[in-house]
Amino acid sequence: MAGLLTLGARAMFANQAALQTVGQNIANANTAGYSRQSVVLAPSEGQYTGAGFFGRGVDIQTVERAHNQFLTREAASAKATASADATRAEQLSRMEKVFPPGTEGLGYAASQFLNAMVDVASRPSDPSARQVALGRASEMATRFSNAGQQLTDLQAGVVSDLRASVTVVNQLAQQIAFVNDQISKMKGVGHEPNDLLDKREQLVSQISEYMAVSTLPADDGSLGVFIGGGQRLVLGNQAAALQITADSYDSARAQISLKEGNSTRPLDESVLTGGSMTALLAFQNRDLQDGRNLLGQLAATIGTRINDQNSLGLDLSNPPGAGANIFNVAVPRVLPASTNPRDANGAFFSGVQASIVNAGQLQASSYKLTSSAPGVYELTRMSDGLKRTVNDGDTIDGFQLTFTPGAPSPGESFLIEPVGEAAVEMRRLLDSPNGIAAASPLTASAAVANKGTLTVDSIYAVNDSFDASRAPMTLVFGGADPADANAVTYTLTLADGSVLNGSWKSGQPIGNQPDLGINLGFELRTNGVPREFDTLSIAPTVYTSTNNGNAKAFLNIQSEAYIGRQLLPDGSITAGSTINDTYAAAMSEIGARVQSATYLSSVSTSVATDAETTRAGQAGVNLDEEAARLMQFQQGYQAAAKVLQTAQALFDELMRVAQR
C-alpha cells in the first residue's frame, strides 16, 4: 500500500507543478521579455525486488525556460541598429525643414532682395524704392538668422536627448548589476532563477535601444555588459556610469564619457555602434555640422558679395561716399582644443585666427589644424578629408590663417569654422535708405560725332583694383583686330596720360580684362557696333541721384556663379554656383540624406521585427499550446488522484479485514 500511495502522491505533485507552470505561462503571455517555462520530469530510480525492479514514480528535476542565446543576441543587435536608423531619420527630417523650397526658401528671399534693386535702378533717387530694398534685405537676413537659430535649437535638443538617454542607461546598468548580484547568490542552489534571467535579458534589450552592447557570461552566473568595443559598463554587481561632457572644441556640443572611479574617459564616436545615442552623436558631428556649413557658406558668400558691391558704388549722402555694409558677416570661428596648454591665468599660450579674404572661395566645411612637429602644421578639410600643409599667413579656401599670440606647439589642435556661424549671426546693418550705393563712381558717355551705333549700357566698379584717380579716361576704337576678325582694337588713355591697348568684341566688357593686362577694377558694357575713331568719355560721377550704374551691378549678382569656387594647385579657379543653384544643391543634399535614412530605417526596423518574432517564436508563450498542456496535466492530475483513491480504498479494506 505504501508504494502505491507514494506513486500517486508523486504523480499528483508532478502534475500540480506542471499545472502551476502552465498557469504562470498563461498569466505572463503578454509580459514583455518573458520566456516560456516548463517542468522537466524524470522517472525515479526503480526499487529492486526478487521479482525485478518496481518503479517509484516521477521526480521533478527543475523548471527550465525556453531560451536561445543566439536569437536573443541577434534580436538585441537588430534592435540597436533599428533604433539608430530611426533616430537619425527623425533628426534629419527635422533639419530638412530648415531648407524649405519655393517661396519659403532662402534662395527666394535672396532673389527678392536683388529683384528689389530693379526698382532702385529704375528710380535711383526714389526713397520708397530704396526703402523696399532695405525691407527685402531685412527679410533675407531674418530668414538666414532664423534658419541658423533652428539648427542651434536642434543642437540643443540633441544634447538634451543625450542627457536624458544617459540617465536611463545608467539606471538600467544599475539594475543589471543588482540582478547579477541576485543571480550570483542563487548560483549554488542548483537551479536557474528563470524570472531573474528574463529580467536581465530584458534590461540588456532596453539598453540596446540607446547603445549597442556586447555581453559575456561569467562563471558565477553574472553577465558582463560592454560598450564601445570593450569598455566595461557592467561587471558583476558593479556598474560604471556614463556622463555627458562638453566636446573638446565646442562646449555647445556633447560627447559621451565613461566614469570609472574618479576618472572620466571620453568615448570615441567611432567605437560606438547602434542605438539612439550613437545616432544622435553622428547627427550632431556630421549631419548637423554639414547643415550649418551649407547654410553658413550661402550666408557668408551672399552677404560679403553684396557688401563688396555696395562699397564700390556711391550713396546719396552729401558729399557722396562709398556704400556701407548692408549685412553683418560673421568672422570665422576658431575653437582651440580644451587640452591645449594654458598659462597660470587660464589663457592659451598659442592661438589661431582666421579672416575671410575671398568669400567666393569659401567651402561648406569645417577644418582641423594640428601640429605634429615644431613648425609643421597640417590643415584637414573635414568635408572630404583633404589634408594640406600650411604656414602662418597662408590663405586656404578663401580664408587666411594667422598664428597669434603664438604659433601652435606640437600636439595642439584647433577647429576652424569659417562659415559655421554666418547664418545665425546674419542681420541687416544698413538703416538709412540713402546708404544704398546705387550710383557708379564712373559715368561714360559717347561722343556726339561718333558714326557707329555704339551706346553705353552700364559702367560700374567690380573689384578693389578700381582707382577713381585714373579718371577721366578716353576710349577710342580702332580698326579690325588682325588677330581676331570678330574684334576691333581700342586705346584707353588714363588721366595720367598712360595708354592701354586692348581688343574688344560684342558683349565683352572693357576695363576688367586681366588676360590682356587691363585690370582697372571696372566694367564698361556697351550696345551696338562702333566705327573706327568712335570715342567714349569716362569721368567721375557728378550727379549720383540720377546714376544707376552700381544698382545694375547688383542685378548681375543673382546670375553670377561666384559661390564655392576652388583654387586649384595649378593656379586656376573652378567655376562656382549661383545663389539659386547653391541653395538647390543644399536642399538636394539634405533631401538625399533624409531619403536614404528613411529607407535604412524601414529596412532595419523590418529586420528587427523579424528577429524579435523569431526569438519570441521560440521563447514566447502560445496560448493554444498552453491550453492543450493544461488539459493534459489536468487529466494526469485526475489520474494520479484516482491512484491515491484506489490505494486508500485498498488500505481501508485491509484494515477492516485485520479487525475481524
Of 61-65, 86-90, 515-519, the range with the lowest mean pLDDT is 515-519
| pTM: predicted TM-score of the whole model, two decimal places | 0.86
pLDDT of residue 545: 87
The region that residue 393 occupies, defined by phi over 0 for left and psi between -120 and 50 for alpha, beta otherwise, is: left
How does residue 25 score in pLDDT terms, banded at 50, 70 and 90?
A: confident
Backbone angles phi, psi at 114, to 5 degrees: -70, -35
Q: What is the pLDDT of residues 188-207, one digit of tens each?
A: 777 888 889 989 999 999 99
Contact 38, 50 (CB under 8 A): no
How does residue 600 score in pLDDT terms, banded at 50, 70 and 90?
A: very high
Q: How far apart are CA 32 and CA 29, in angstroms?
A: 9
Q: How far apart are CA 557 and CA 551, in angstroms?
A: 10
Q: How far is CA 176 from CA 187, 220, 283, 350, 394, in A?
A: 16, 14, 29, 47, 55
Q: What is the 3-state secondary structure (H, E, C) of 388-439?
A: EEECCCCEECCEEEEECCCCCCCCCEEEEECCCCCCCCCCECCCCHHHCCCE
Q: What is the pLDDT of residues 134-172, one digit of tens each?
A: 999 999 999 999 999 999 999 999 999 999 999 999 999
Q: How far is CA 76 from CA 72, 143, 164, 235, 612, in A?
A: 6, 44, 21, 19, 8
Strand partners, 417: 333
Which grid coordinates belong to 85? 536608423
Q: What is the pLDDT of residues 628-650, one digit of tens each?
A: 999 998 998 899 888 888 888 88
Q: How far is CA 250 from CA 244, 254, 311, 660, in A?
A: 13, 8, 35, 103
pLDDT of residue 397: 93
Average pLDDT for residues 52-57, to the nearest whole number?
77
Contact 310, 323 (CB under 8 A): yes
Q: How far is CA 263 from CA 123, 258, 259, 381, in A?
A: 69, 8, 6, 33
Q: What is the pLDDT of residues 109-137, one digit of tens each?
A: 999 999 999 999 999 989 999 999 999 99
